[in-house]
Structure 1
Amino acid sequence: MKFMHLADAHLDSPFQGLSFLPSNEFNNIKQSTQKSFIKAIDTALDQKVDLVLIAGDTFDSVHPSPQSQLFFSREVKRLTDQEIQVVMILGNHDYLNPDEMILPQTPYFKLLGPDEQVETVEFKTKSDFPYTVAGFSYQHNHIEVDKISEFPNKGDNFTFGLMHAGAKTTAAYQNVYAPFTTAEIKDLNYNYFALGHIHLRQTLSDKPPIVYSGNLQGRHINEQGAKGVYVGTVDESTKEISLNFVETAPIIWQMATLNLDQVISQTVLTKQIVEVLTKKNKHQTLFGLTIQGAQYLSEQELELVNDSDYWLQLANSLRFDSRPVKVYLTNNEKLQLKTADKEAFDQAENETFELDKIYSLANDLSKKSDYVADLLKQPEFIEEVKELAQVKLGQKLKDMDDETNPN
């Protein structure tokens, strides 16, 4: 038997923060989620899988456009026309009322647990290999209860678990996406547990496999690198699974770093930026660039690197229609503070950057914006917030120190 595990297609994703791009380029980027989904379906057909598991957040919101719903139904029909079984659940982004969705009407498509209750279904492959799928769909943005206890005991069939969820954390307010522990899932002893929600591809357990496939297409700089699906091949005698990752994203996100250790001209700065980006430019890429040592940039150069037209023109030097879309400035200069001031600074830094305080401050905003909620799940984003705050605070203190100690 062969199966595909995919999740988090986020059709209709708005790609926030890229509206400064020329409209044709921005539209091409917006179409990348559909292109990645098409690639996933192509892969399923080419590899003649028996089952496609869709682990939630197929759509980016509870108000998907009619176009994206029709697109989804058309692509799934390509599978069901070949008698490939598709089992789908809804996630915390697309917790739609199934009666208000445009869904394929065929026995080869199943929306699992539409009432937010764990549902179990049984199927057979064309070669009569029996298997079971258990899972549930969201009907609310948040599910605060642990749903693992609702999953049935494993029977004789090869059994898949399907869930859109996040692992339990020590911060209670984060445990709002059907929180679970890996140990709980392992105790079910299912043959394969397909997870969605976390956009980073990762394996929580090898035996039995408990797997996040990640999303199909990165949507911002915190979703870097190759994105795609897993194709699993089951040895029907031993029930062993071999997993292969297949990339689907037409566009990838990457970070690059330019280190400055002295004052340079705008010409040299531009040359070095192009060289750093070119080394990583092997694919159509949206780059984030960190300039470390920003204290060496003059006011004119700072103005230059904050000019969107500068980056649009610089993109002409890159291949595959790639371009830099975000720049980060890091000041490596260390503050020289008096002992008492340094102690006060360190205390303020520790108190300000406690994760609980950051999450608490952003809690109201995250409830109003799924985009913010997703960012807060990314450790890289939290580090970026801390770093930028440290740079800003350090610069303010340095300015005050310069004013009080002009010599």
Structure 2
Amino acid sequence: MKFIHFADAHLDSPFRGLSFLPSKAFNQIYQAADQSLTKIVDLALKENVDLVLIAGDTFDSNHPSPRSQLFFAKEIKRLTDAQIQVVMIFGNHDHMKMTDLLVAPSPYFKLLGNNEEVESAHFTSKNGFNYQVNGFSYLNNHITEDKMSEFPQNGEDYTFGIMHAQEKTTTASQNVYAPFSVSEIKALNYDYFALGHIHLRQTLSEKPWIVYPGNIQGRHINEMGAKGCYLGEINEQTKQTELTFYSTSPIIWQEVSVTLDQKLSKNDLQDKIVKNLDNIKQSTYFSLRVIGAQYLTEEEMDLVQDTDFWRSISMQLAFDSQLVDVRLESNNQLRLNDSDQEAFERAENEIFTLDELKKISKDWANKSQLTESLVQNPDFLAEVKELAKVKMASKLKGISDETETN
């Protein structure tokens, strides 16, 4: 028996922060999740699988657009027309009623666990192999209770579990996505537990299999690398399962670093950046980290952070790849005299604290909901802190150079 496990398609995801892209590139990434899903269905048909497991967050919203609903229904029909069993659950993003889904009724399509109740469904493969799938769907965007006690124990048939959930943490306020522990899942003695929700592909256990496939298309720089689905093949005699990951995402995200140890002309800087982004095998969206940014002039700093500059770099890249993010970082190689070094460290300790940055940015934060949320985002504040350090180091470097030449 063969099966496919995927999750977190997030159809209709808005891909915020990329509006500066040329229309062709913006359309490319807007369609990327759809294309990835189509490739997954193509793989299912090619491999003649018996089962497709969809572990939640197929849509980015519980009110998906007609376009994404119709597209999804068309792809599911390709599977059910081929008599491939599809078992789907809703996640915290697409918490919907079963009646809101536009998929045509079919004996080969099953939405499992409506009303957040664990449900068991029993099936037989084309070769007469019996299996069951146990799981539940979200009806609300949060589930705070541990659902594991509601799952039945493994029976004689090969048993799948399916759940859109997150491991328990020590912070109670974070346990809002059907929190579980790996030991609880292992205690059920299932053969394969198909998880969704975490966008990083990872295997929590191999005996038994407890697997997050990740999302099917990275949406930003924190979702790097190949994305896709797992193809599982079950030995029907021993019930042993082998897994193979298949990359289906048409676009991948990648972070690349460029290290500076001296001043460069603008042309040399551009050439260095293009050279470091040149090793491409498919369409790639890059985040560039410039380490040693204190060697950039003020004008060069403005240049590398300008989206027009990013577009000029992108035009030199293969596979319609794009530079979409640049971050500046000091590498602490700057040598200051003792008094300057002392002043720098004192400023860092007094000013570069998150509390102080929040205080400084208070007025700016009040301008809109977006700026308010950014000030509360520790990653954003860390980037502001790093940029301030880079600019201060650059200023001090200039003072140091002037002193040395006199």
Q: What TM-score bracket applies, with the shorter chain setting the length? A: 0.7 to 0.9
- Cα distance, 1:348–1:121 mapped onto 2, change above 3 Å: farther
Q: CA deviation at 1:62?
A: 1.1
Cα distance in 2, alignment partners of residues 311 and 348 from structure 1: 31
**Counterparts of 1:22 and 1:344, CA distance in 2:** 41
Give CA-to-partner distance per residue, 1:363-398, whole Å, 9 cap, x none.
Answer: xxxxx99xx99xx9xxxx96x546424425646887
**2:328 & 2:346 partners in 1: Cα distance?**
26
- What runs of 5+ residues in structure 2 fail to find an aligned partner? 359-368
Q: What are the Cα deviations for residues 207-245 of structure 1, in whole angstroms up to 9, with x where unaligned?
A: 000000111111111111110100000001111000011
Shift of 1:310: 1.3
2:264 match: 264
The 1:401–1:246 alpha-carbon spacing in structure 2 relative to 1, beyond 3 Å, is: closer
3-state secondary structure, aligned to 1:16: coil
AA of the residue aligned to 2:65:
S
1:228 & 1:247 partners in 2: Cα distance?
Answer: 5
Shift in alpha-carbon separation, 1:347–1:153, aligned structure 2, 3 A: farther
Identify the residue that residue 174 of structure 1 maps to in structure 2.
Answer: 174
Q: 1:155 to 1:198 in 2, by over 3 A?
A: same
- Answering whether residue 83 of structure 2 is matched by residue 83 of structure 1, we say yes
| 1:115-126 equivalent positions in 2, closer than 5 A | 115-126=115-126
Q: Which residue of 2 aligns with 1:198?
A: 198
> How far apart are the structure 1 equivalents of 2:96 and 2:82?
27
Percentage of identical aligned residues:
52
Instruction: Using the TM superposition, name which of 78-87 and 384-393 deviates more.
Output: 384-393
Aligned-pair distance for 1:53?
Answer: 0.2
SS at match of 1:239: coil
1:263 and 1:343 mapped to 2: Cα distance?
27
Report whether the alignment pairs 1:218 with 2:218: yes
| Range 228-237 or range 96-105, more displaced | 96-105
The one-letter code matched in structure 2 to 1:391 is E
Name the structure 1 match of 2:64: 64
Deviation at 1:347, TM superposition (A): 8.9
Provide the C-alpha distance between the structure 1 equivalents of 2:198 and 2:228, rounded to a whole number of angstroms. 13
Q: Distance in 2 between matches of 1:82 and 1:161?
A: 24
Which of 377, 384, 388 is the matching residue for 2:383? 388
Equivalent residue letter for 1:264: L
Paired residue secondary structure (1:115)? helix
Deviation, 1:346, is 5.3
| C-alpha contact 2:58 2:90 (8 A) present in aligned 1 | yes
Find the counterpart in structure 1 of residue 363 from structure 2: none
The alignment partner of 1:161 has SS state of strand
* Residue of structure 1 equivalent to 2:9: 9
Counterpart of 2:101? Answer: 101
1:360-379 paired onto structure 2 within 5 Å: none
User: Structure 1: which amino acid aligns with 2:84?
Assistant: I
**Residues 280-299 of structure 1 correspond to what in structure 2 (within 5 A)?**
281-299=280-298
Q: Could you state the TM-score of these two structures normalised by the residue count of structure 1?
A: 0.87
Partner of 2:361: none
Taking the aligned partners of 1:303 and 1:346, their CA distance within structure 2 comes to 26
Alignment CA distance shift 1:266-1:337 (3 Å): closer
Per-residue CA deviations over 1:172-212 (Å, capped at 9, x if unaligned) read 22111111111111111100000000111100001000000
SS at match of 2:278: helix
Pair 1:321 & 2:320 matched: yes
Does structure 1 residue 29 correspond to structure 2 residue 29?
A: yes
What residue identity is the alignment partner of 1:6? F
Q: Distance in 1 between matches of 2:200 and 2:129?
A: 31
Cα deviation, 1:74-131, whole Å, max 9, x if unaligned, reads: 1111111111100000001100122122122001100001100111110100111110
Mean CA deviation greater in 192-201 or 297-306: 297-306
**Deviations 1:274-299, CA, capped at 9 Å, x for gaps:** 000003x1211111100011111111
Q: Distance in 2 between matches of 1:299 and 1:345?
A: 20
Q: Which has the larger radius of gyration?
A: 2
Whole-angstrom CA distance in 1 between matches of 2:354 and 2:329: 22
Q: 1:22 to 1:398 in 2, by over 3 A?
A: closer
Match of 1:306 in 2: 305
Which moved further from structure 2: 387-396 or 97-106?
A: 387-396
- Residue number in structure 2 paired with 1:240: 240
Secondary structure of residue in 2 paired with 1:75: helix
- The letter for the 1-side match of 2:196 is G
Aligned residues: 381
Question: Which residue of structure 2 lines up, in the alignment, with residue 157 of structure 1?
Answer: 157
In 2: Cα distance, 1:306 partner to 1:348 partner: 24
Question: In structure 2, the residue corresponding to 1:10 is in which secondary structure?
Answer: coil
CA drift at 1:8: 0.5
**Secondary structure of the structure 2 residue equivalent to 1:18:** coil
DSSP 3-state at the match of 2:256: strand
Cα contact 2:328–2:390 (8 A) shared by 1: no
1-structure distance, mates of 2:178, 2:289: 36
What CA RMSD, in Å, does the superposition of the two structures yield over aligned residues? 2.8
Q: Distance in 2 between matches of 1:186 and 1:41?
A: 30
**Cα distance change of structure 1 residues 80 and 133 upon mapping to structure 2, 3 Å threshold:** same
In the aligned structure 2, how far is the partner of 1:212 from the partner of 1:198? 7
Q: TM-score normalized by structure 2?
A: 0.87
| Offset at residue 25 of structure 1 (A) | 1.9
Report Cα offsets for 1:305-340 as digits up to 9, x if no partner.
Answer: 12211111221211111110110111224796549x
Worse-matched range after superposition: 237-246 or 341-350: 341-350
Q: Pick closer, same or farther for the CA change 1:395–1:231 going to 2, 3 Å.
A: closer
Structure 1 residue matching 2:11: 3-state secondary structure: coil
Q: Is this contact kept in 1: 2:51–2:84, CA < 8 A?
A: yes
